[in-house]
Structure 1
């Protein structure tokens, strides 16, 4: 069984990543009875990380093996990166941008249940929620910030760097926060392709494989904290505008009152909840180009898996199926 780390290790500086991997290898070698090879302990490439949720969700939905237009696309918002993945047509794949991504090709051929897919899979490093908080706070250059709730004066630490999180005297402001978020997303970065998402990244050409989107991880977590969805439901249909509406409420609330407005909020998220909601809305609408009223499915990967009573979780087999034909 492979042990593969995600974006958090790709973001570490110097030899920190390799030091951690070596410690894990030593653990398997000296203290585990599991079958083990040193090369099985690695860091996932961005395109691999992007593909795995797509594979798992389509297996569970029963769309794996069907034509590409019947599959669903996925967006996975982690801590260090966010991944967009969906199947495209043969025609779009043939016209895929050949500009280097640092992750290999934008579109790769994958085989799943005997079917060949042209899969657009891209991992945006530094744009996971925890990393994005740092990127947005950087825009203020350590001065007061319109995304921080009124009454909060503290710090935010990410990847060993400490950022000042200081509210404006007038408190958080959704419109001003949006301006900071869009700057951090680099919406207006030069686009060398026909169409881009953000930070100059090709958008994959869109198409039928992107019409139904399953959205996971921090999108689900934050939505459950602020009441967009009920906690622990396997999945629920929402719209990007639901994050905007929650942001309006969050951004006009004082830090001392936020727990009474959102009783289920995690204490660690309280000072930055305006930022988080504005970021998630902006990422979906301005970054990935979704209509604010487009229906998307928020999915809790663990609860979603458990809802399939009598169905084995196929992720391991799915990964093997994809990896062996890459």
Structure 2
């Protein structure tokens, strides 16, 4: 019997063997076929994280890049009092900025701002067209309909009054519906309240410094000096947030709760309308009313227009004086007039947030940087500089001693329209920091215009914070 079995085995055909062992073959072949099929379907550019790690390990020239199909764009218009600006950002799925060409953002600007067209809303809206055209060019065509476009008007429009600002905003909404291929929504065209602007600015700078997600004491505080308003924002402890004073009806709360990158922050933020640099000029000139003003450079006699009102702007025969100008600035800030009903106040009787670790490192932006560079104590080609409030005082002492003619050659980078007010601007900035926000004259602060992020420079402005919110909401 065993011999017959052996002979049978030797004479068995291939087909008989396949039939005989078909079960084992199926068990082995099906997984192999499935693996081959999956590998065939996978495109070479689409890899799992594990595949990417393997490729990096074994391919020395491999560069890990985000999947472009998961990128999201956001277009943010900053309609400020001194001009309109557009920012375009691109984020990957982890909310990290992705390069747009050689930069991490598109940034374009033009002057004047929307508020300069107060009597012609359509003209105001149409003024944004050159910026819109440039913004749309960098957003891929197939992504434009899903890319949010937001317009945030700031202090310039806030000061026009409700009727005028609403007409301009409606014109901008209509403009975007007709002229833009981006995703627009009427709710995304707004006048930002000051606390929104301050909160977005705080998010922007801490995001670029990679501080978000860390404890509040590791974040930095921000002072943003715009044309119409100035904002202060910094993170405070939960205990200090609980002590925040109640605010009368109609005013913004002092503390905003924000959940960012898994961390809850209590953000003290307050905006001071009429105390941006351009608005403050009107406040200071308004103190003297129709008299000569000691903040105006000698030899200048003119008119300063702001918010539809003209102010006399002429120097006394003795010229400008830093000491007398500072007295005018203190009156404008109402430092010694307002009653503080809270634990501790800045100017105007406003609660200061209590101070603390979140305010220790203070980043100061916008017009602070611009005037410092134009006055010569900060390199105009730099983007970040360590200074002290007293540096503004020393620069003011030099500027206030000059005539308007001397200043033309001494300060070639200052625009002609700003030159008569250089003494005033520098005195006001020093007074705002020291008397308004109670900083020590020799306290170190960081002037910032742009922040380096992933080997690129990004504008340290509130639109990035707004863009982060926009893409987060859309995801």
- Shorter-chain TM-score: which interval? over 0.9
Decide whether aligned partners of structure 1 residues 281 and 12 sit closer, same or farther in structure 2, where only a CA change above 3 A counts.
same
Ranges in structure 2 where 5+ consecutive residues have no aligned partner: 1-147
Within the candidate set 455, 458, 463, 1:309 is matched to 455
What TM-score, normalized by structure 2, do the two folds share? 0.65
- Residues 5-62 of structure 1: per-residue CA shift (max 9 Å, x gap): 1111111125110011011011111111111121211111221111111101101111
Matched residue, 1:263: 412
**Aligned residue number for residue 146 of structure 1:** 294
Whole-Å Cα distance in 1 between the matches of residues 458 and 390 of structure 2? 35
Name the larger-Rg structure.
2
Q: Is the 8 A contact 1:111 1:321 kept in 2?
A: no
* Contact persistence 1:111–1:322 (CA under 8 A): no
> Cα distance 1:322–1:50, how it changes in 2: closer, same or farther (>3 A)?
farther
Map 1:100-119 → 2, pairs under 5 A: 100=248, 102-119=250-267
Residue 184 of structure 1 aligns with which residue? 332
Per the TM alignment, residue 229 of structure 1 is displaced from its structure 2 partner at its CA by 0.4
Distance in 2 (CA, whole Å) between partners of 1:182 and 1:206 is: 22
Pair 1:255–1:33, CA change in 2 (3 A): same
Evaluate the alpha carbon distance shift between residue 265 and residue 54 of structure 1 in structure 2; reply closer, same or farther with a 3 A threshold: same
CA contact (8 A) 1:47 1:103 kept: no
1:167 corresponds to: 315
DSSP-derived class of the 2:156 partner:
helix
- Give the gaps of 5 or more residues in structure 1: none
Secondary structure of 1:91's aligned partner: helix
| 2:468 counterpart residue number | 318
1:185 Cα deviation after fit: 0.3
Retained in 1: the 8 A contact 2:396–2:427? yes
Whether the 8 Å CA contact 2:222–2:364 is kept in 1: the answer is yes
**Distance change in 2, residues 1:29/1:291 (3 Å):** same
TM-score, with structure 1 as normaliser: 0.94
For 2:473 and 2:382, how far apart are their aligned partners in 1? 31
| Count of residues in correspondence between the two structures | 321
Partner of 1:213: 362
Please give the per-residue CA displacement for 1:163-189, whole angstroms capped at 9, x wherever unaligned: 110101100011100000000001021
1:234-253 residue pairs with structure 2 within 5 A?
234-253=383-402
Distance between the aligned counterparts of 1:17 and 1:316, measured in 2?
A: 21
Equivalent-residue separation in structure 2 for 1:226 and 1:311 (angstroms):
23
SS at match of 1:229: coil
Q: 1:97 aligns with which of 245, 248, 251?
A: 245
RMSD across aligned positions (CA): 1.8
Deviates more, 1:314-323 or 1:49-58: 314-323
Could you say if the C-alpha distance between residues 132 and 227 of structure 1 is closer, same or farther in structure 2, counting changes exceeding 3 Å? Answer: same
Q: 1:323 to 1:221 in 2, by over 3 A?
A: farther
Give, in whole Å, the separation in 1 of the partners of 2:378 and 2:458. Answer: 26
